[in-house]
Amino acid sequence: MSDRPNKVVIDEELCKQCELCVVVCPVHALRISDRINTKGFHPAELYEYDKCIMCGFCAMTCPERAIAVYRPEVQKA
């Protein structure tokens, strides 16, 4: 996981588990994780890394603005 460039970075302490990002994701790449943050919520996580198309809808919808989205440079063969 760590060797791949970041696509969706979620600040787990800010997340309030509202699931709006999970529902809005057009490729269903997000889900609610099993971890618990200090507020007692289960933060969202990116679990289908390869499916993510980096559209930014999750970040745009997040009421906490806990999500940052990056588009890694494409390696041309």
Partner 1 sequence: MKVVYERPKTLEKVTNHYCPGCHHGILHALIAEVLDEMGLAEKAVGVAPVGCAVLAYNYLDIDWIEAPHGRAVAIATGIKLAHPDVLVFTYQGDGDAAAIGLAETMYGAIRGVNVTTFLYNNAIYGMTGGQMAPTTLLGMKTTTSPYGRDAKREGYPLKMAETIALQGGTAFSARTALFNPKMIMETKKRIRQVFELQMKGAGFTFLEVVGTCPTNWGMSPVDATKFAETEMVKTFPLGVYKELKEVE
- Select from 12-20, 28-36, 43-51 the region that touches partner 1 (CB under 8 A): 12-20
User: Binder to partner 1 among 33, 65, 76, 77 (CB under 8 A)?
Assistant: 65
> How many other CB atoms are found less than 10 A from the CB of residue 42?
17
Q: How far is the CB of 1 from partner 1 (least distance, A)?
A: 17
In degrees and rounded to multiples of 5, residue 50 shows phi and psi of -70, -25
List, in sequence order, every residue forming a beta bridge with 31; answer none if it has no partner. Answer: 45
Decide if 16 contacts 41 (C-beta within 8 A).
yes
Give the interface with partner 1 as residue ranges (CB under 8 A).
5-6, 13-14, 16-20, 23-24, 39, 41, 54-57, 59-65, 67-73
